[in-house]
Amino acid sequence: MKRNDVLLYDTTLRDGTQGEQVSLSVHEKLAIARRLDEAGFHYVEGGWPGSNPKDMRFFKMAKKEKFQNIRLAAFGSTRRPNVKTIECPNIKALLDACTPVITIFGKSWDLHATEILGTSLDENLAMIEDSVSYLKGKGKEVIYDAEHFFDGYKHNRQYAISTIKKARGAGAEKIVLCDTNGGTLTWELIDILDDVMKVMPAEELGIHVHDDCGLAVANSIAAVYKGVRMVQGTINGYGERCGNADLITIAGNLAIKMKRNCLPENSIGHLTALSRYVSDVANVPPVNSRPYVGKSAFAHKGGVHVSAILKNPVAYEHITPDLVGNSRRVIVSDLAGKSNIKYKADELGISLGGFESKDVSKNVVSAIKKMESEGYQFDAADGSLALLIKKATGEFQEPFKLESFTVIDEKKKKNSSKSQATIKISVGKEHEITAAEGIGPVNALDNALRKALRKFYPRLDEMHLIDFKVRILEGSDGTAAKVRVLLESRDEEEIWTTIGVSANIIEASWQALIDSLQYKLSKKGNGGDFGK
């Protein structure tokens, strides 16, 4: 290893799956392992072969893989108390996984040795030494995870240090100090590391931290700063209780802030894509506020902030978003200023030319502030916002007008309810009256409106509604409360969201539906070319 190198050891496939929301099939684990290999990670822990059949299937299938960068590790415990290493099923299962690396954990906290394992302190030391030595004798690279090391050190320093000395003496390549309960504060961790490094070289140490105090990333970075050369963690910080150290954030900090070699440079530029890929495979919604890669990591809402980043992004951004494959976002809300509108108009491809842009922006800001006070939320409704700006600039011509609509919902005993909508619209000088059924009133309205508009705008068939969300704005008003409806729509080119607000859920849905269709029709080449 070069002096500036840090090894990244990923345990998403094992420790990460202990998180409440995370469950991965064998094929999903293999897919993530391949992606981590492409990204240039050094180690990937595939699972605990002695604990469940799924992990054994994973290791069996992984034998056929030809990884270019990662060294695959099997994880498990030391031999059992008072059992010969060669006869221990834990050790046998680890060897049966046929991985080049075996990560074995042992007890560093005397409480765990005596009360949890129910063995003596001497026998615990023998278990560590025998297990590491035996696996080394089988030609394996052995990484020793000193479980509960920091708690054990605080309770019995001498014994905790004796456990890692045993592992090192038996041949473990790396001794990983684990804050398994996640309760160690950063200054405590630094003091303990300083003491450990008096008896063990920093370059032989690793760090494995949980996030129960919200310090997993900080503690991992502090350990590297002190000289530790291996960091264990998971993608997106998945893991038991409050999770593990997030390797995405750690990689960003190491590579960009600390100038350490941890991943190839092009992989740092794809951290956002990696984070979202694992999130999709694990079926866990991405956290918008996640550092570096979250949707909100470079989002700006306040008008003063936006005005500043238009002049120099460094004013409110600690790095350039594209360094990690992310992008800047400007949010328009009741906190917005004229700079937000200008930025958003440029982003949406709406020209403010031909108008006094300051007046246009001022009018749009005033309208947004008024509407958001009534319950609208334009940072979540880009389609409705685009229409609002187009209307303010005069670039929007209304493609149709509503004359009236009627919705009837019929329910007969145990049968499913049916909805019928009748609608009358005008397009120019032509009028159209039509009716349609649907599953619920909103679906019936959508069907009737499309039916009425199809002969005028056949390209509406390219558009589909893909999500429908309703939120009560003030619960104390009970069933008379205002509701906010968000509709997400898509065509072959893009996805957009529109909004409606009313005390009547059908009216709010209608507003969002109209905006959705009008946004589609306002795009050039969609039948009316209402966007000039």
Q: What is the pLDDT of residues 419-438, one digit of tens each?
A: 899 999 999 889 999 999 98
Whether the predicted pLDDT of 490 surpasses 80: yes
Report which of 334, 331, 332, 330 is spatially closest to residue 371, judged by C-alpha positions: 334
Tell me which of 71-80, 90-99, 265-274, 414-423 is least confident.
414-423
Q: Residue for token digits 């405590």?
A: 188
Whether the predicted pLDDT of 279 surpasses 70: yes
422's enclosing H/E stretch is strand 418-427
- Binning pLDDT at 50, 70 and 90, where does residue 304 land? confident
With a pLDDT cut of 70, the percent of the chain lying above it is 91
Residue 266 is predicted with a pLDDT of 93
Question: Which whole number is the average pLDDT over 68-80?
Answer: 96
Residue 495 is predicted with a pLDDT of 84
Whether the predicted pLDDT of 532 surpasses 50: no
Question: Which whole number is the average pLDDT over 401-412?
Answer: 86
Q: Residue for token digits 């990923």?
A: 10
Residue 386 is predicted with a pLDDT of 82
Question: Which whole number is the average pLDDT over 287-313?
Answer: 83
Q: Tell me the Ramachandran region of residue 54: left when phi exceeds 0, alpha when psi lies from -120 to 50, beta otherwise.
A: alpha
Residue 62 is predicted with a pLDDT of 95
Alpha-carbon span 48 to 246, nearest angstrom: 21
Residue 247 is predicted with a pLDDT of 98
With a pLDDT cut of 90, the percent of the chain lying above it is 57
Residue 178 is predicted with a pLDDT of 97
**Residues forming a β-bridge with 231:** 8, 207
- Binning pLDDT at 50, 70 and 90, where does residue 348 land? low
- Binning pLDDT at 50, 70 and 90, where does residue 139 land? very high
Question: Which whole number is the average pLDDT over 19-38?
Answer: 94
DSSP 8-state code for residue 269: T
What single letter denotes the amino acid at residue 192?
I
User: pLDDT by residue (tens digit) across 227-246?
Assistant: 999 999 999 999 999 999 99
Whether the predicted pLDDT of 388 surpasses 90: no
Arithmetic mean of pLDDT over the chain:
88
Is residue 39 within 8 Å of residue 274, measured between CB atoms? yes
Contacts of 447 (CB under 8 A, 6+ apart): 421, 436, 437, 438
Whether the predicted pLDDT of 531 surpasses 50: no
- Binning pLDDT at 50, 70 and 90, where does residue 454 land? confident
Tell me which of 6-10, 127-131, 209-213, 510-514 is least confident.
510-514
Residue 368 is predicted with a pLDDT of 73
DSSP readout, 197-244? Answer: TTTS-GGGEEEEEB-TTS-HHHHHHHHHHTT--EEEEBGGG--STT-B
Question: Which whole number is the average pLDDT over 505-522?
Answer: 89
Domains and CATH numbers, the chain: 7-282 (3.20.20.70), 299-392 (no CATH), 400-456 (3.30.160), 462-532 (3.30.160.340)
- Binning pLDDT at 50, 70 and 90, where does residue 529 land? very low
Whether the predicted pLDDT of 92 surpasses 50: yes
Residue 254 is predicted with a pLDDT of 97
50 vs 32, more confident: 32
Is residue 337 within 8 Å of residue 305, measured between CB atoms? no
Residue 324 is predicted with a pLDDT of 96
Whether the predicted pLDDT of 89 surpasses 80: yes
Hey, what are 470's tokens? Answer: 């309703």
Hey, what are 259's tokens? Answer: 């100038």
Residue 375 is predicted with a pLDDT of 76
